[in-house]
Amino acid sequence: MAEIHEECGVFGIFAPQKQDVASTAYYALFALQHRGQESAGIVVNDDGVLRTYKDTGLVNDVFTAETLSRLGEGNMAIGHVRYSTTGSGGRENAQPIVVNHLKGNMALAHNGNLVNASELRIELENEGSIFHTTSDSEVISYIITKERVRRRSIEEAVLAAMERLHGAYSFIVMSPSKLIAARDPHGFHPLCYGVRADGSYIVASESCALDAVGATLVRELDAGEMLVFTKDGPVSDRTHCGKSKHMCVFEYLYIARPDSVIEGKSVHEARKQAGRFLAERYPIRADIVVGVPDSGLDAAYGYAEASGIPYGIGFIKNKYIGRTFIAPGQAAREDKVRIKLNVLKSAIEGKRVILVDDSIVRGTTCARIVKMLRGAGATEVHLLSSAPAFLNPCYYGTDIDSRDNLIACHHTVSEIAAIIGADSVGYLPLEKVALLTGGDGTGFCSACFDGNYPTEIPSETMKSRFERWARPISENPKFKK
């Protein structure tokens, strides 16, 4: 973990007539690529026949004109881009998950992380269930399937399953005749829907995916809401609504695309506001403000706007390389930093630089970037994080599963500055987090910063347990002689 892994991205379309829904899903997954770069998949529904294709890699690598053609036309499709929180990143864990059962079939695309997945999986295995993946998404699919075989409809099964699922989930389920979207009662992760001119309904993790396929945003699903799309239109069920909302604040700070709107609030404006708060807290004398592409740019602009210090382009980004965490091994990650970013020396040389990044996790990537600025002739480098210090694991979908790798847990701010090689380091004040979108300070989950978890937390993370179970015996220390 050099920096943060982000969320998964989910997408669904319900069209009034058969059309090329596979291509629509393909374009939408492109728009959601920032949420997951390990695998991608699409399932097309053609009169109840589900055709699927998924594999590891970026959307453009997984799907070709030929594979999209084989998926064919249909009136429904769901898609998924993934990075692993619970479960490894292999092909077996690529989504959507397709299940054939006594009453038909279904497909599931899930974003989030269950805190009770371990207990549910053990229960299912004791009942004879056989798991093919190490992800908690398969647990969700089994719970829904188990409920479906004894209930009258898929929506009744989903509602019953939601009673048993604890933690974070935004998922889309596709049955032979219905598309169902559901969001957990705390609303940890976003899920919205819109409509196109041809009458198609679109569901996605972020509004930027709606924009990509020509849909108009209608609204965000409420926390705990289930929305069922049929040929008669959408029907809302609010049985599980009513709990206090705890949207992951890191959606605004890092995960979401800046052109997305989440719960009526612009991600771009929220990040600019973080920069303004940093300017209030750290009135540093400098010559230029630069942001680390991409998620540090908006906050850097906000700092410059509030401070009056010129905003500048400090880095040129290679657009054909993914986020740094994808590369296995620290040496490979550092190589990717050099390939991914190059300093614009003419803008930096001889300048006192304020460098704004979205977060400081382990500090290794930040140290590399500061070193690059020094090498380009910066006389001072002051590193500011548009997120507070990470002090706690996340159990709801962001891949911070241990305090061991969090630099702020083991060092003071001045020590971190020395480790990174910066003249100073500053974090967004914790009390400003809930004010990023201009609200009253309620409705966010910031447990990774303050330790105030909205739910009970597991004693042992599913990620470590599943990966231990799934590891070959020869690699498992428990079985070594």
For residue 463, pLDDT beyond 60: no
Higher per-residue pLDDT: 441 or 143 = 143
- Give the model's confidence band at 386: pLDDT under 50 very low, under 70 low, under 90 confident, else very high: very high
In the prediction, which pLDDT does 322 show?
56
- Give the model's confidence band at 374: pLDDT under 50 very low, under 70 low, under 90 confident, else very high: very high
Domain 9-246, what fold?
A: Glutamine Phosphoribosylpyrophosphate, subunit 1, domain 1 (3.60.20)
Q: Which two tokens stand for residue 284?
A: 């540093």
In the prediction, which pLDDT does 477 show?
41
68 and 43 in contact (C-beta within 8 Å)? no
- Give the model's confidence band at 93: pLDDT under 50 very low, under 70 low, under 90 confident, else very high: confident
For residue 330, pLDDT beyond 60: no
What value does the mean pLDDT take over residues 166-177?
Answer: 96
For residue 125, pLDDT beyond 70: yes
What value does the mean pLDDT take over residues 57-86?
Answer: 91
Angstrom distances, CA of residue 254 to CA of 115, 305, 481:
22, 20, 44
Query: What backbone torsions phi and psi does residue 195 show, to the nearest 5 degrees?
Result: -140, 145
For residue 360, pLDDT beyond 60: yes
Give the least confident one: 18-27, 89-98, 262-271, 434-443.
434-443
Environment class of 230 (CB within 10 Å of its CB; exposed 0-12, middle 13-18, buried 19+): middle
For residue 329, pLDDT beyond 80: no
For residue 157, pLDDT beyond 90: yes
In the prediction, which pLDDT does 88 show?
52
For residue 459, pLDDT beyond 90: no
* 396-448 tens-digit pLDDT: 988 776 788 899 999 999 999 999 999 999 999 999 998 998 776 568 999 99
- In this prediction, what percent of the chain has a pLDDT beyond 70? 88
For residue 87, pLDDT beyond 80: no
In the prediction, which pLDDT does 448 show?
92
Residue 468 β-bridge partners: none
In the prediction, which pLDDT does 481 show?
30
Helix axis angle, 267-281 to 297-307, nearest 10° = 50
What value does the mean pLDDT take over residues 190-211?
Answer: 98
- C-alpha 132/C-alpha 141 separation (Å) is 12
Name, in order, each residue with C-beta under 8 angstroms of 165's C-beta and a sequence gap of 6 or more. 114, 116, 120, 140, 143, 184
Domain 268-437 class? Answer: alpha beta
**Active site (annotated) includes residue 8:** yes
In the prediction, which pLDDT does 401 show?
67
In the prediction, which pLDDT does 11 show?
98
Domain ranges of the chain: 9-246, 268-437
For residue 469, pLDDT beyond 80: no
Of these residues, 8, 192, 208, 445, which one is catalytic? 8
| Position 474, amino acid | S
- Give the model's confidence band at 327: pLDDT under 50 very low, under 70 low, under 90 confident, else very high: very low
Mean pLDDT rounded to a whole number for the chain: 89
What value does the mean pLDDT take over residues 41-56?
Answer: 96
Higher per-residue pLDDT: 477 or 161 = 161
